[in-house]
Homo-oligomer: A and B are copies of this chain.
Amino acid sequence: MARRRAVIAMPKVKLVVAYDGTDFHGFARQQSLRTVQGTLETVLERVLGYPVEVFGSGRTDAGVHARAQVVHFEMGAGPPVERFPYLLRRALPNDIVCVEACEVDEGFHARFSAQAKTYRYTLQQARVADVFTNRYAWHLPVSLDTAAMERAAKHLIGHHDFTSFCAASTPVQDKRRTIWELKLTSRETYLDLYCTGNGFLQNMVRIVAGTLVDVGEHRIADEDVPHILAGRDRRLAGRTAPAHGLTLWRVEYESS
């Protein structure tokens, strides 16, 4: 990843952005709705003085958050790239921040160069929800059988056809994907499910999370997960966990 110091015609800029997805209609630009892509484009145009097109590593659904979404855009004249986090601090609304900015090679593409993505799904197991994490965690006033959830998760790791774990309406033909890691960790009353893979189908992480919760509540047996995968039918898997518990945690690139 070559870094150039001065302003050169059309440098490509990579931004890492974090957002609270609650008040966005998802990442992807939509006419007259507040979206992450639309907000970034509007604010960058204001800062740079000319319109740019922002490309993300992928869409996030309405209500889904990001700790480290990656986007890129081609810049004409402009300030040193390193100054973007500072310049955008005041220009962006409270619920998006630019965490990092750097110049990248011409061949870089936020979506096509991505090699792995990690999502985190957060559950809170407590009698009453914590009002300060309510926007970021799915509150469940029950006790989950985490050992069963861990056994179920093991069945999902690997290369599988995830038809059963994807919104029935998804137009994508090939529903095979690879989950490299799927692990549960706990902190205080929270249970975090980290899911890393090379790409995810629509609602896939939320259906994985919802199904693991169903296993944790003994509505689905952990040993049934291989049959659910093999059945290739959305109706076999569990609930779709609500969007607000999901956060795009990390996007990885070669040598990044």
Residues in chain A within 8 A of chain B (CB atoms)? 18-20, 65, 67, 85-86, 89, 94-99, 127-132, 134-136, 141
Contact = CB atoms under 8 A, between A and B. Distances in A.
A235 B136 CA distance: 40
28 contacts: A18-B130, A18-B131, A18-B132, A19-B131, A20-B131, A20-B132, A67-B132, A85-B127, A85-B128, A86-B127, A86-B141, A89-B128, A89-B129, A89-B141, A94-B131, A94-B134, A94-B135, A95-B131, A95-B134, A96-B131, A97-B128, A97-B129, A97-B130, A97-B131, A97-B134, A98-B128, A99-B128, A132-B136
A86 B126 CA distance: 11
Copies of chain A in the complex = 2
Contacts of A18: 130-132
Given A18-B132, A89-B141, A94-B131, 9 more contacts: A19-B131, A65-B132, A67-B132, A95-B131, A96-B131, A97-B130, A97-B134, A98-B128, A99-B128
Contacts of A135: 94
Contacts of A65: 131-132
Nearest to A65: B132
Contacts of A67: 132
7 smallest beta-carbon distances between A and B, as pairs: A18-B131, A97-B131, A97-B128, A20-B131, A85-B128, A94-B134, A97-B129
Contacts of A131: 18-20, 65, 94-97
Contacts of A127: 85-86
A17 to B, nearest CB: 9
Contacts of A98: 128
A65 B134 CA distance: 14
A129 B131 CA distance: 20
A65 B133 CA distance: 13
A84 to B, nearest CB: 10
A20 B20 CA distance: 15
